C-alpha cells in the first residue's frame, strides 16, 4: 500500500533497472495491484461522514468543501473527483453539463432546458426576456413559456432551486453552481409566471395508454381547464384531432371520417335572383355572395362564388 493518497501517482516503477521482460512485467503487475488497493481504500473512505481522520490529517488546510477542510492540493483533486467520479453507484455532483460533447446511455428521472434563467439574471445587463424551455418528467413532455414576475413595477427575484433543492455559487468567479453544500453565495434568478403552452403525455383510453398531444394553454375557464386546447391522438382504430370546448369540434378519422362543427346555413337570400345573384348566410353571421348565369330560357346554368369557383348546372 502507498503511504499517502496520491503516492500512487508518483511511485510508478523505474523499468530501466529491470533486465528482462519478465522482471519489467512483474514490476508493472505489482504496481497495478498497489494502485487497485489504493483506489479501493480511497473509494471506501471518500464519503461524507466517513473520512479517516488520521490518514486525512496531512491534507487538512484552510479550504472548506462540503463541510470538510482541505489544503489547496487536495481541493483541486477533490473538485476533479466531484466532476468526474461515480462512487458506490452515487454521482457526487447533482448537475451534469456537456458543451459540444456526447453523453451516451443517459438515464434520468427529470430533464429541464431552463438553464437560461441563471444566465439572464447574472448577465450584464440583466436580460428580462421570456424564458422558453422544455421540461420532461413523469412520462410527460411540457413546452413552457415563463415571463418575469413584477410587483409594483419591480422584477421579483429568488434563489435558484428545483423543488427543495437550492443552488449556490461554487466559486467566486460565478462560473459553477452546486446544490451539495451551502457556500454562502446563493444563485439568484428572476421569479417567473409559468404558462404551459403544450405537452405530450400518456392518456388511458378504454384501458390502453395512448400518447396524446395537447397544444395551447386554453382559455382560462376554471370549470373546464382544457377548454380551448387542441388535442391530437392516435387511438387503436382511429385518428382524432379536435378543439376542446362545448362541441369538441374536430376531425375524427376511423371507418368513416367525421368533421364536427362545420358551419351550417342559416339563411338564403334570393331577392336579387333576377339580377343574377343570391347570398347565403352561415353560422357566425358570415355571408357569401354568388353570381348566377342563365341560358336563353332563363334557366341557371352556372353559379360562381366569390373566389371565382364555378359550379355548372345542367338541365
What range defines the domain where residue 308 resides? 265-312
Q: Is residue 282 part of a domain?
A: yes
Predicted confidence pLDDT, tens digits, the chain (315 residues): 444 445 555 566 777 777 777 777 887 787 787 777 777 777 766 655 555 556 555 554 444 444 444 445 445 554 554 444 443 333 334 455 555 566 667 778 889 899 899 999 999 999 999 999 999 999 999 999 999 999 999 999 999 998 888 999 988 888 888 888 899 999 999 999 999 999 999 999 888 999 999 999 999 999 999 999 999 999 988 999 999 987 789 999 999 999 999 999 999 999 999 999 999 999 999 999 999 999 999 999 999 999 999 999 999
Q: Which of 48, 69, 91 is at the close of a domain?
A: 91
Q: Is residue 201 part of a domain?
A: no
pLDDT recorded at residue 26:
80
Task: Say how far apart CA 263 and CA 284 lie, in whole Å.
Answer: 8
3-state secondary structure of 175: coil
Q: Is residue 240 part of a domain?
A: no
Q: Which of 54, 75, 91 is at the close of a domain?
A: 91
Q: Which of 91, 117, 139 is at the close of a domain?
A: 91
Task: Say how far apart CA 53 and CA 159 lie, in whole Å.
Answer: 35
pLDDT recorded at residue 71:
47
Q: Which residues of 118-133 are buried (b: 16+ CB within 10 A; e: fewer)?
A: bebbeeeeeeeeebee
| Residue showing cell 488497493 | 37
Q: Is residue 80 part of a domain?
A: yes
pLDDT recorded at residue 34:
78
Q: Is residue 304 part of a domain?
A: yes
Q: How many domains does the chain have?
A: 2
Q: Is residue 11 part of a domain?
A: yes
DSSP-based helix, strand, coil % in the chain, nearest 5: 20, 35, 45
DSSP 254-296: SSSEEEET---EEEEE-TTGGGTEEEEEETTTEEEEEEEEE-T
Mapped to the 3 state alphabet, what secondary structure does 219-259 carry? Answer: CCCCCCCCCCCEEEEECCCCEEEEECCCCCCEEEECCCEEE
Q: Is residue 44 part of a domain?
A: yes
pLDDT recorded at residue 94:
46
Q: Is residue 212 part of a domain?
A: no
pLDDT recorded at residue 214:
97
Amino acid at each position: 500500500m502507498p503511504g499517502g493518497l496520491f503516492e500512487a501517482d508518483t511511485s510508478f516503477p523505474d523499468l530501466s533497472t529491470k533486465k528482462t521482460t519478465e522482471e519489467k512485467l512483474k514490476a508493472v503487475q505489482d504496481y497495478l495491484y498497489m494502485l487497485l488497493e489504493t483506489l479501493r481504500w480511497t473509494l471506501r473512505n471518500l464519503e461524507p461522514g466517513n473520512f479517516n481522520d488520521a490518514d486525512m490529517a496531512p491534507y487538512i488546510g484552510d479550504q472548506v468543501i462540503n463541510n470538510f477542510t482541505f489544503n489547496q492540493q487536495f481541493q483541486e483533486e477533490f473538485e476533479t473527483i466531484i466532476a468526474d467520479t461515480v462512487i458506490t453507484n452515487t454521482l457526487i455532483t447533482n448537475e451534469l453539463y456537456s458543451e459540444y460533447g456526447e453523453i451516451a446511455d443517459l438515464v434520468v428521472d427529470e430533464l429541464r432546458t431552463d438553464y437560461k434563467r441563471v444566465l439572464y439574471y447574472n448577465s450584464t445587463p440583466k436580460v428580462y426576456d421570456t424564458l422558453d424551455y422544455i421540461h420532461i418528467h413523469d412520462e410527460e413532455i411540457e413546452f413552457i413559456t415563463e415571463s418575469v414576475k413584477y410587483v409594483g413595477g419591480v422584477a421579483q427575484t429568488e434563489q435558484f432551486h428545483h423543488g427543495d433543492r437550492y443552488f449556490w455559487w461554487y466559486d467566486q468567479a460565478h462560473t459553477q453552481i452546486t446544490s451539495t453544500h451551502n457556500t454562502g453565495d446563493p444563485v439568484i434568478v428572476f421569479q417567473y409566471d409559468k404558462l404551459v403552452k403544450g405537452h405530450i403525455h400518456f392518456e388511458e383510453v378504454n384501458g390502453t395508454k395512448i400518447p396524446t398531444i395537447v397544444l395551447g394553454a386554453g382559455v382560462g375557464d376554471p370549470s373546464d381547464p382544457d377548454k380551448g386546447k387542441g388535442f391530437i391522438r392516435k387511438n387503436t382504430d382511429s385518428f382524432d384531432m379536435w378543439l376542446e370546448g362545448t362541441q369538441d369540434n374536430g376531425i375524427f378519422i376511423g371507418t368513416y371520417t367525421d368533421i364536427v362543427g362545420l358551419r351550417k346555413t342559416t339563411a338564403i337570400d334570393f331577392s336579387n335572383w333576377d339580377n343574377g345573384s343570391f347570398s347565403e348566410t352561415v353560422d357566425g353571421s358570415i355571408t357569401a355572395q354568388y353570381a348566377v348565369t342563365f341560358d336563353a330560357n332563363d334557366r341557371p346554368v352556372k353559379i360562381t362564388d366569390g373566389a371565382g369557383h364555378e359550379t355548372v348546372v345542367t338541365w
